[in-house]
A and B are shown apart, each in its own frame.
Chain A
Amino acid sequence: MIRENTFDHPYYVVWMSFRFSKIIRNIGRWAVYALLPLIFISCQKKEYSREEAIRSLKVLNGDVSGFLTKAGEMEEMAALRFLWDHDSLPLPFATEKFSADQPWKPYDFNASKGVYSLDSLRPVFLRKEESHEVSLLFSGPEIPEGEFMLKDYQAAEISSRPDFPLKLEAELKLKGLKGEKRMTISHAAQVSDDLPEAVNSSIKTEDSGVSFTLRRTRKKNDGTLFLQLDVEKKGFHFIRADLNATIGYSSMGYYFKDIRFNMEVFSHLATGFIRYGLIDPTARDYAASFNAHSDIRLYEMPGKRLVGKLVLSKSPQGDLLDYFIRFKDGSLVPVSEYLPFMDRLLNLKI
Chain B
Amino acid sequence: MKMKSMALLMLLSIVVFVGCDLLKGGEDEVTDPSKTMGRVGNYWDLQSTGYTASKITVDSNTDGNVVASYIYNGKTYQLEGKVTDKGIYDYVYSNGDKNKPFTLVKFDAKVGDQWEFKVGTQTVVRKVTHVSTDNDTYYGMLMIKTIDVEETIPSGLQVKGAASPFTKILWKFNHKFGFIMAFGTKTNGTTVNLYSYDTNADD
**Whole-angstrom CA separation of A323 from B121 in the bound complex:** 8
CB-based contact A281/B94 at 8 Å? yes
Taking a contact as CB atoms under 8 Å apart, the answer to whether B121 and A312 are in contact is yes
Cβ contact of A347, chosen from B73, B103, B121, cutoff 8 A: B121
* A311 to B99 alpha-carbon distance, docked (Å): 23
Residues from chain A with a CB closer than 8 A to the CB of B187 are: 101
In Å, the complex CA distance between A255 and B95 comes to 6
Chain B residues near A251 (CB, 8 Å)?
67, 78-80, 96
Q: How large is the interface on A (under 10, 10 to 19, 20 to 34, 35 or more residues)?
A: 20 to 34
B136 at the interface (CB under 8 A from A): no
- Is A349 among interface residues, defined by CB-CB distance under 8 A? yes
Contact among B97, B117, B159 for A255, CB-based, below 8 A:
B97
The complex places the Cα of A252 from the Cα of B77 at a distance, in Å, of 9
Whether a CB of chain A sits under 8 angstroms from the CB of B13 is: no
- Whether B102 pairs with A282 at a CB distance below 8 angstroms is yes
A17 close to B (CB within 8 Å) = no
B163 proximity list for chain A (CB < 8 A): 98, 100
The contact size tier of chain B is 35 or more
B100 — nearest CB in chain A belongs to which residue? A281
Tell me which of B119, B156, B160 has the highest count of chain A C-beta atoms within 10 A of its own C-beta: B160
Say yes or no: A250-B102 contact (C-beta < 8 A), given A100-B163, A277-B97: no
Residues of A within 8 A of B164 (CB): 100
A312 to B186, CA, bound (A): 30
Any A CB within 8 A of the CB of B183: no
The reply to whether B91 and A250 contact each other, CB–CB distance below 8 Å, is: yes
Residues on B with beta carbons closer than 8 Å to the beta carbon of A349:
119-120, 157-158
What are the interface flags for B118-161 relative to A under an 8 Å C-beta threshold, 1 for contact and 0 otherwise? 11111100000000000000000000000000000000111111
Which residues of chain A come closer than 8 Å to B96, judged between CB atoms?
Answer: 248-255
Q: Which residue of A lies closest to B157 (CB)?
A: A349
The yes or no answer to B116 lying at the interface (CB within 8 A) is yes
Give the residues in chain B near A161, CB-CB below 8 Å.
161-162
Which of A160, A323, A346 meets B161, CB within 8 Å?
A160
**Chain A residues whose C-beta falls within 8 Å of the C-beta of B115 in the assembled complex:** 282
CB nearest to B159 among chain A residues:
A100
CA separation between A271 and B84, bound complex, in Å?
41
Instruction: Using known A-B contacts A282-B117, A321-B123, A347-B122, determine if residue A253 contacts B161 with beta carbons closer than 8 Å.
Output: yes
Quote the shortest CB–CB distance from B66 to chain A (angstroms). Answer: 11
Q: With an 8 A cutoff between CB atoms, is A159 at the interface?
A: yes
B120 interface neighbour in A101, A103, A249, A347, Cβ under 8 Å: A347
Counting CB contacts under 8 A, is B93 at the interface?
A: yes
Which B residues are within 8 Å of any A CB, using their own CB?
A: 67, 73, 78-80, 91-100, 102-103, 115-123, 156-165, 186-188
- List 18 other contacts, CB 8 Å, given A101-B188, A251-B79, A252-B80: A100-B164, A100-B165, A101-B165, A161-B161, A248-B96, A250-B95, A250-B96, A250-B97, A251-B96, A252-B79, A253-B160, A282-B100, A282-B103, A283-B118, A320-B121, A321-B123, A347-B156, A349-B158
Smallest CB-CB A-B distances: 3 pairs: A250-B96, A160-B161, A101-B165
Q: Can you list 25 A-B pairs, Cβ within 8 angstroms, ordered by A?
A: A98-B162, A100-B159, A100-B163, A101-B187, A161-B161, A161-B162, A250-B96, A250-B97, A251-B80, A252-B78, A252-B79, A252-B92, A252-B95, A254-B95, A255-B95, A281-B93, A281-B117, A281-B118, A282-B115, A321-B118, A321-B121, A347-B120, A347-B122, A348-B158, A349-B157
